[in-house]
Amino acid sequence: MSPTLPPALLQFAATATLAFVLGLELHSYRRAQDEGVGFGTTRTLTLIGAAGFVLWLLDGAQPRGLYLGGLAALAVWLAVDLARGGREGGAGGELLPGMIALLAYALGPLVQTQPAWMVAAVLIVAILMLAEKPLIRKISDAMPVSEGVTLAKFLIIAGLVLPLLPDTPIPGLSTITYSKVWLAVVLISAISYAGYLAHTYLFPRASTLLTGLLGGVYSSTAATVVLARQARNDATLAAQAPAATVLATAMMYLRLWVVIAVLGHRDAALRLALPFGALCALSLGVTWLLWRRAAHAAGGPAPAPAQLTPRNPLDLPVALLFAALFVVFAALTAFVTSRFGVSGLNVLSFVVGLSDIDPFVLSLLAGHFQVGSSAVIHAVLIASGSNNLLKAVYALGLSRRRDMLPAAAWLAASMLLSLTWAALPF
């Protein structure tokens, strides 16, 4: 048998190596910033990492006096260096080297007590913070203060409210719990917010076609309204707006299917994969045809891209409204199915599809109403189809241009396809 190295030796080697890498990255950072060596050279950080490993290992049990004593000594050392740099304007006086030194000191306990992925994640974050200063500063300069508030709202919605809500049924709705409702709110908000950030910061001057794609991730109805209104005032953009409008609807099918699958409605996701996939694929094909037609017809200068300025999807009132609609639609569905059965559900689905279908579809799938699973799938298809009819009306009514006729015709045709599919027995 070949001899194996002691685990403690391997952990020590990993700690020293990681601390050495941190030192190299800090040195590269200072060289890029044209700074002096200062506190925290590669050798110093490697020795700090080794000291943290040894002191943690020697303690062996709580209260870990040796390790905490070493941490206190390091903190005093860093405080002296910070004060000296502030008074003398020397190489010290920066917080970043001190933070890296504390991280190097913590590597030993991390390697000994945490899984490898956690150690790797911590090191990756530290290296990115050192290596990507220009990109981080660019993002910081471009991001307004309001986005920090927006992030705080998301943390409230996902990290504070969701864990506090009980997994108990809402009175009168035995199969729908408070946490299930809010989980749907968190998921819809997250997907919408991703589209909002992509359009606002990654592609602020996106082309009209990309506006339709990103708008469909956020809200296909809102994207249709914006495209139609801008097509009314810009004849050149009107030639491209039909393709973008249809593309937004294609993204609606994809977004809705992803939400259904992520929320755990696997049977519904499997049964909707074929109709939603077919409608999405057909919509993408129509988008390509309309875009080719617009490209061949273009003879003048390129139009200014349509600008979608969606309302921030993480406003707390918006989240509360979604939750309220979820509960209202669930109660309304329970009432209609108990009184009128499948026919009543189909009528309700068509009517609700002329508004916001996300809370209705999710409440429909979350509840176990007095109809079969096939009736529920049919209702989802009917609601998505009638929502396309609403967008067809918006496209024509708000643009008042014949250019939008092909997009409106396809939206109406997709509604008929949805209704036809819903009428099939499956």
The answer on 210 and 108 residing in a single domain is no
Cβ-based neighbour number of residue 275 at 10 Å: 22
CA–CA dist 382, 415 (Å, integer): 8
The answer on 89 and 175 residing in a single domain is no
The answer on 367 and 347 residing in a single domain is yes
**Is residue 31 over pLDDT 70?**
yes
Cβ-based neighbour number of residue 244 at 10 Å: 31
Instruction: For residues 139-164, give the mean pLDDT.
Output: 72
Token digits of residue 307: 């600008």
Percentages of the chain per state (helix, strand, coil), in multiples of 5:
80, 0, 20
Q: How many domains does the chain fold into?
A: 2
- Of 327, 387, 322, the residue nearest 352 (C-alpha): 387
For Cα atoms 367, 372, 375, give the angle at the middle one, nearest 5 degrees: 90
Token digits of residue 255: 């977004």
Token digits of residue 390: 């609403």
Does the residue 65 lie in any domain? yes
Highest mean pLDDT pick, 260-264, 367-371, 404-408: 404-408
Of 196-200, 213-217, 324-328, where does mean pLDDT reach its minimum? Answer: 196-200
The answer on 310 and 182 residing in a single domain is yes
**pLDDT, tens digit, for every residue of 35-63?**
655 666 788 889 999 999 999 988 876 66
- Check residue 211 and give its pLDDT: 77
Looking at the DSSP assignment, which residues form a beta bridge with residue 173? 170
- Check residue 75 and give its pLDDT: 87
The answer on 275 and 240 residing in a single domain is yes
Instruction: For residues 53-75, give the mean pLDDT.
Output: 84
Instruction: For residues 177-200, give the mean pLDDT.
Output: 80
Does the residue 343 lie in any domain? yes
The answer on 259 and 136 residing in a single domain is no
- Check residue 220 and give its pLDDT: 86
- Check residue 140 and give its pLDDT: 62
Token digits of residue 90: 């020397």
Long-range contacts of 339-343 (CB under 8 A, 24+ apart): 341/370, 341/371, 342/371, 342/375, 342/378
The answer on 155 and 136 residing in a single domain is no
**Structural domain ending residue among the three candidates 95, 113, 140:** 140
Residues in Cβ contact with 147 at an 8 Å cutoff, skipping those fewer than 6 apart:
none
Does the residue 286 lie in any domain? yes
The answer on 197 and 320 residing in a single domain is yes
User: Domain containing 344: what range?
Assistant: 144-423
**Structural domain ending residue among the three candidates 140, 170, 199:** 140
CA–CA dist 167, 334 (Å, integer): 20
- Check residue 311 and give its pLDDT: 54
Q: Report, in angstroms and rounded to the nearest whole number, the Rg of the chain calculated over CA atoms.
A: 29
Does the residue 2 lie in any domain? no
pLDDT band at 138 (very low <50, low <70, confident <90, very high): low
Highest mean pLDDT pick, 29-33, 259-263, 296-300: 259-263
**Structural domain ending residue among the three candidates 78, 108, 140:** 140
pLDDT band at 303 (very low <50, low <70, confident <90, very high): low
- Check residue 409 and give its pLDDT: 93
The answer on 197 and 226 residing in a single domain is yes
Does the residue 1 lie in any domain? no
**Is residue 133 over pLDDT 70?**
no
- Check residue 43 and give its pLDDT: 87
Cβ-based neighbour number of residue 102 at 10 Å: 15
The answer on 149 and 131 residing in a single domain is no
**CB of 325 within 8 A of CB of 184?**
no
Helical H segments across 306-372, by residue range: 316-352, 357-366
Token digits of residue 16: 């020293």
CA–CA dist 243, 224 (Å, integer): 11
Long-range contacts of 330-337 (CB under 8 A, 24+ apart): 330/170, 330/173, 330/176, 330/363, 330/364, 330/366, 330/367, 331/172, 331/173, 333/360, 333/363, 333/364, 333/367, 333/369, 334/172, 334/173, 334/367, 334/369, 334/370, 337/369, 337/370, 337/371
- Check residue 1 and give its pLDDT: 45
- Of 387, 201, 216, 386, the residue nearest 287 (C-alpha): 216
pLDDT band at 132 (very low <50, low <70, confident <90, very high): low
Does the residue 332 lie in any domain? yes
Does the residue 260 lie in any domain? yes
The answer on 179 and 44 residing in a single domain is no
**170-198 in b/e burial notation, b at 16+ Cβ within 10 A?**
beebeebbbbbbbbbbbbbbbbbbebbbb
